[in-house]
Structure 1
Amino acid sequence: MQAQLETLGQLERRLDLAIPMGEIDAAVEDRLKRVARTARIQGFRPGKAPLKIVAQNYGFQVREEVLGEKVEAAFSNAVKEQQLRVAGYPQFQAQPIEGDAFKVSAHFEVYPEVVLSDLSSIEVERPLLTVGEAEVDKTIEILRKQRTRFERVEREVQKGDRVIVDFKGTIDGTPFAGGSADNFAFMAGEGQMLPEFDSAVLGMKEGESKTFDLNFPADYQGADVAGKTASFEVTVKNVAAPVLPEVDADFARTLGVEDGDVAKMRDEIRKNVEREVKRRLSARAKESVMSALVAANPLELPRALVSLEIGRLVEQAKEEMKSRGFDTSKLPVPPQVFEEQAKRRVSLGLILAEVVRSNELQAKPEQIKRIVEEFAEAYEHPAEVVKWYYASQDRLDGPEALAIEDNVVEFVFSKAKTVEKTLSFDELMGNA
């Protein structure tokens, strides 16, 4: 077998292979003999047909199989000899048969050489937040609001009230689609309605009616009414004020504290908040490190790897849409939407692999165990969860990957210029 390598571009290669025809013919004949032992051909008992007849019936198929195997083996051997790291799948193109060799060209891409930049030259941000009583109090307020009940009141509508109304809208005296509703409920002053609608209802009482004009924004989602002025008649049918539960034993029980101990409830909330804050701080720190690594180490990416990653992202999107009840056959997912995300993921994967390899940042068993135990803390029976993870090596792949990422993050922080940034609780939790 002969092999000749040609560089077509920064990552593109062509490998010309020549496989002796005698080697191929011998392999075809050997396989045909094996096929002949069990071949069922009309007019002959099983395994008794002459080799010539077997070749007439199975020769083409056998030769195709042998050629495929020989080309694959030749390519694999040549790649090892040339010490090439093939990215994606090669494309084979057979050449016209001349002389005593079968010639084929393999077009493929190789992985780029990753030469990491000096980490001391990059800057990363480490977010900070300490959980105290104020953060516990804010969380309790959120939990109270989630359990809000509404009581009917005989007063003017105020911000935060739940209001039930009938309304009818017209444009130039003509009703329009979506412009009317009966027993429509919304939270007054909370941005659920257009500002002019909200303003009109605030201050009204149960049983009152009002007519007012409303200007739809030019970019309003309803194209038929966007930029137009409508006249609305609204009647308030019910006004209910929000009532939050007291922080007492009953409230504690609703949160799973069976004996109603409020102090115990606060301790549980603190633990949960600390766990969530830690997770979010870690995610932000990780994102800062990953973004810095990608920016500091630009790479020429194999198109094959990017295409494979786009395919994975498209399939994930389809599965997500299906789980939400969408028909993906009627709502196609354009691959180009995921191109930049795919490029970032491929680039980051190559960079991380080199950071881990060159600095020996592989996950240690105790790190994986710690992550598994942290996962388990969120469940009622942690020991069973830990046992479930360790029942299969595949289940430990996720915790192992997280441990490696944690090692990379801490390594980069130890080498790079680190800027500490204290966040507010609302900012970190997305309430700002």
Structure 2
Amino acid sequence: MQVSVESTSALERRMIVGVPVERIETEVNKRLQQTARRAKVPGFRPGKVPMSVIRQRYEDAARQEALGDLIQATFYEAVVEQKLNPAGAPAVEPKSFEKGKDLEYVATFEVFPEFTVAGFESIAVERLQAEVTEADVDNMLDILRKQNTRFENVERAAENGDQLNIDFVGKIDGEAFAGGSAKGTQLVLGSGRMIPGFEDALVGAKAGEERVINPTFPEDYQNLDLAGKTAEFTVTVNSVAAPQLPELNEDFFALFGAKEGGLDGFRAEVKKNMERELRQAIKSKVKNQVMDGLLAANPIEVPKALISNEVNRLRVQAVQQFGGNLKPEQLPAELFEEQAKRRVVLGLVVAEVVKQGELKANEERVREMIEEMASAYQEPEQVVAWYYKNDQQMNEVRSVVLEEQVVDTVLQKANVTDKAVSYEEAVKPAQAPQAA
């Protein structure tokens, strides 16, 4: 087998492969002999058909099959011989494809980039330091109570925060418009659910009252036919209900699975969950900074095939997330190209850090991660056992741990500064990277 390789760009390779005719004929004859053992030809017993008849009937198909298999086999033999690392399937073009002659074909493909990850010292990381205070726990208890607010009908005039049950009919220039009318709508005043001015105009209304209000649709309203126009809504208030926060009692604690320990036990459980969230938030923000730093310090060219594959994965994820009748291929590729490129580059850089550092997932850290995730459940032992019986889940956890070890490797040389902040600031989501 003869092989020659030409670099047509930084990552593209054009490889010419020559396969001797003797190897081709050997493969063709092998297939014809296999066919002869099972072929059913009128006038002959199975396995007794003359080879001349077999060749006459089946040689063309056997040759096509042999050539296809040979191209596949010799391509991988050639890239191993040339120490190439293809990043995708090749585009194959036959140069010589005649019976009785050597096979020669051209395979064009991209290879993975070869590089060394560097620049750890140039990466700046701000590591947040925070703790969960009793005031933070008090605030979280208030949030949990508000999330479980109940509304009870009252006879007084409506205030901000009250829930109104309303019927309304909207018109513009005396004509009703699509989506402008509804019956039995529940609306919490001050929630910002309706267009500006709508909710404010209902403050002070009482059950049974009818009001005519004239809010204006925003200039940037999604329905361009309504944007910037002033509407007239006739609103009937069916009922006014005031918010009632639940008491911190056994019934409330039971909503969250806390059946023992009273208020002190519930506070302790809430604090434990907040501390877990805090650890994860700080870890995530450090990781994001490290990954951004690795990308900035290691600009590399990546194969188009890998970006295309990642674009397709993102298309599928988008369809799964947002539903509808769209097919993934209907979504424009350019919507996902920047994000796909970022993910591909980051994947290659992280893999190279793992390779250079000879990193392997630390099984003790794997166990700790599983136990921490399991601690959020009522029966953590069962969750831990489930993970250890599920190879796919275990591999996913090992991948996360390995990424954490990559972060630790970078932090050893990066420029790290610690910053003391409040719990609220520490858990606040970081702004997503522009490319994402």
Q: Name the TM-score class by shorter chain.
A: over 0.9
- Give 1:354 shift: 1.0
Letter in 2 for 1:105: V
Tell me, yes or no, if structure 1 residue 135 matches structure 2 residue 136: yes
Larger displacement relative to structure 2 (363-372 or 41-50): 41-50
Alignment partners' CA distance in 1, 2:365 and 2:287: 17
Cross-structure match for 1:85? 85
Question: CA 1:3/1:431 → structure 2, altered by over 3 Å: closer, same or farther?
Answer: closer
- Give 1:12 shift: 0.5
Tell me, yes or no, if structure 1 residue 345 matches structure 2 residue 354: no
Question: CA 1:157/1:40 → structure 2, altered by over 3 Å: closer, same or farther?
Answer: same
Alignment partners' CA distance in 2, 1:178 and 1:10: 56
CA contact (8 A) 1:209 1:234 kept: yes
Cross-structure match for 1:235? 236
Tell me, yes or no, if structure 1 residue 207 matches structure 2 residue 208: yes
- Give 1:183 shift: 2.2
Cross-structure match for 2:434? none
Question: CA 1:319/1:209 → structure 2, altered by over 3 Å: closer, same or farther?
Answer: closer
Cross-structure match for 1:412? 410
Cα displacement string for residues 84-130 of structure 1 (whole angstroms, at most 9, x for unaligned residues): 11111111111134784110011001111222232111212323321
Query: SS at 2:418's partner residue?
Result: strand
Alignment partners' CA distance in 2, 1:5 and 1:315: 36
For 1:166-185, list aligned pairs within 5 A.
Answer: 166-185=167-186
Alignment partners' CA distance in 2, 1:259 and 1:22: 81
CA contact (8 A) 1:251 1:260 kept: no
CA contact (8 A) 1:321 1:328 kept: no
Question: How many aligned positions are there?
Answer: 429
- Give 1:276 shift: 1.8
Cross-structure match for 2:290? 289
Letter in 2 for 1:216: F
Query: SS at 1:275's partner residue?
Result: helix
Tell me, yes or no, if structure 1 residue 369 matches structure 2 residue 370: no
Query: SS at 2:220's partner residue?
Result: coil
Tell me, yes or no, if structure 1 residue 35 matches structure 2 residue 39: no
Cα displacement string for residues 21-50 of structure 1 (whole angstroms, at most 9, x for unaligned residues): 122012211221122011122332222211
Question: CA 1:430/1:42 → structure 2, altered by over 3 Å: closer, same or farther?
Answer: farther
Letter in 2 for 1:328: L
Alignment partners' CA distance in 2, 1:61 and 1:338: 43
- Give 1:428 shift: 4.4
Cross-structure match for 2:53? 53
TM-score, length-normalised on structure 1?
Answer: 0.93
Cross-structure match for 1:116? 117
Question: CA 1:378/1:159 → structure 2, altered by over 3 Å: closer, same or farther?
Answer: same
Alignment partners' CA distance in 1, 2:306 and 2:95: 27
Cross-structure match for 2:433? none
Question: CA 1:260/1:390 → structure 2, altered by over 3 Å: closer, same or farther?
Answer: closer
Cross-structure match for 1:266? 267
Alignment partners' CA distance in 1, 2:217 and 2:390: 58
Cross-structure match for 1:254? 255
Question: CA 1:317/1:45 → structure 2, altered by over 3 Å: closer, same or farther?
Answer: farther
Larger displacement relative to structure 2 (163-172 or 417-426): 417-426
Cross-structure match for 1:165? 166
- Give 1:141 shift: 1.2
Alignment partners' CA distance in 2, 1:395 and 1:54: 52
CA contact (8 A) 2:196 2:216 kept: no
Alignment partners' CA distance in 1, 2:387 and 2:213: 62
- Give 1:384 shift: 2.2
Letter in 2 for 1:67: L
Query: SS at 1:113's partner residue?
Result: coil
TM-score, length-normalised on structure 2?
Answer: 0.92
Larger displacement relative to structure 2 (342-351 or 182-191): 182-191
Alignment partners' CA distance in 2, 1:419 and 1:237: 58
- Give 1:420 shift: 2.9
Cross-structure match for 2:75? 75
Query: SS at 2:167's partner residue?
Result: strand
Gaps of 5+ in 1: none
- Give 1:305 shift: 0.9
CA contact (8 A) 2:119 2:298 kept: no
Query: SS at 2:52's partner residue?
Result: helix
Alignment partners' CA distance in 1, 2:329 and 2:238: 40
Letter in 2 for 1:120: E
- Give 1:148 shift: 0.8
Alignment partners' CA distance in 1, 2:329 and 2:21: 51
CA contact (8 A) 1:252 1:260 kept: no
- Give 1:379 shift: 2.3
For 1:390-429, list aligned pairs within 5 A.
Answer: 390-429=388-427
- Give 1:431 shift: 8.9
Query: SS at 1:127's partner residue?
Result: strand
Query: SS at 2:214's partner residue?
Result: strand
Letter in 2 for 1:35: T
- Give 1:137 shift: 1.4
For 1:293-372, list aligned pairs within 5 A.
Answer: 293-322=294-323, 326-329=324-327, 332-372=330-370
Letter in 2 for 1:375: M
Letter in 1 for 2:14: R
Question: CA 1:420/1:208 → structure 2, altered by over 3 Å: closer, same or farther?
Answer: same
- Give 1:243 shift: 0.5
Gaps of 5+ in 2: 431-436
Question: CA 1:426/1:182 → structure 2, altered by over 3 Å: closer, same or farther?
Answer: same
Residue identity (%)? 43
